Amino acid sequence: MVTTVGMLYPGNAAEDDYPLLEQILGDNIALPVVITSVGVDAHEVEALLDLGSSERLLDGARQVAQHRPDSVMWACTSGSFVFGWNGAHQQAGEISETLGIPTGSTSIAFAAACRALELERVAVAATYPDDVSRHFSKFLAAAGVAVTELVSHDIPTAALAGELGHDDVLDLARSNDSTEARAILIPDTALHTVAWIDELEEVLGKPVLTANQVTAWYGLLLAGNQVTSDRLGTLFRQ
């Protein structure tokens, strides 16, 4: 039996991480991607609030319904955490009510992953400008997770984040650590990370949670499938 998690993904950047996740997780997992509309591609609060608007997400939800998903994920971190803790849950709830199936978002997935791994202190290596990154810190604080170190790399658009390659991602991850942090969080679904999660954990010596990784994990959890893998970091080995 195939478990299907529909992915609502904004624009084009690192959506090819999801076919790679399918390949790693096996034939019984399907992660179909529907590209949602984008107004202005910018890591700016107002643009992100528009990116995660009901109109854009519900249009995507109607499209993803054709795949008969068991659950749906809004595969966008910044376009969910800028709404705050309550707003992000309302955002997911609106999609869930429309489709009648469990729905989450990448920000909610990060909080759930931290709970699953019992992480109370983390470091964040963000692609965003500082003002946007701090919204993520506030979101994690609402989930009971303290950010011990935050580095913002001020990449202005998702498209530019999607162009970063292997060495860039490793450098970004190395840029931010803390002896107090029990894990490193890299919160941008526009960033390719899936191919390198185990390497990142080996280099940093602690769990690494990345946006597309946690999105798939939580979507599968919502669908009732706690699938494991030895190629997707500590989170998928639990």
pLDDT, tens digit, 9 for 90 and up, residues 95-146 = 999 999 999 999 999 999 999 999 999 999 999 999 999 999 999 999 999 9
pLDDT in the model for residue 177: 75
Integer Cα distance of 206 and 217 in angstroms? 18
Residues 76 and 136 in one domain: no
Range of the domain at 38: 3-109+212-237
Residues 78 and 25 in one domain: yes
Residues 126 and 168 in one domain: yes
Residues 14 and 103 in one domain: yes
Residues 54 and 38 in one domain: yes
pLDDT in the model for residue 162: 86
Residues 56 and 130 in one domain: no
Residues 6+ apart with CB under 8 A from 67: 4, 6, 30, 32
For residues 51-68, average pLDDT: 97
β pairing state of 33-36 and 29-30: unpaired
Residues 216 and 104 in one domain: yes
The average confidence (pLDDT) of the chain is 95
Instruction: Write the pLDDT tens digit of every residue in 203-228.
Output: 999 999 999 999 999 999 999 999 99
Specify the CATH number for the domain of residue 219: 3.40.50.12500
Residues 21 and 90 in one domain: yes
- Model confidence at 17, pLDDT cuts 50, 70, 90, reads very high
Residues 173 and 62 in one domain: no
- Could you tell me if 210 and 197 are in contact, meaning their C-beta atoms sit under 8 angstroms apart? yes
pLDDT in the model for residue 154: 87
Residues 94 and 137 in one domain: no
Integer Cα distance of 95 and 105 in angstroms? 10
Residues 46 and 83 in one domain: yes
Structure tokens belonging to residue 151: 């580095």
pLDDT in the model for residue 5: 98
Q: What is the dihedral of CA 93, 94, 98, 104, to 10 degrees?
A: -40
Residues 18 and 32 in one domain: yes
pLDDT in the model for residue 159: 87
pLDDT in the model for residue 236: 98
How many domains is the chain partitioned into structurally? Answer: 2
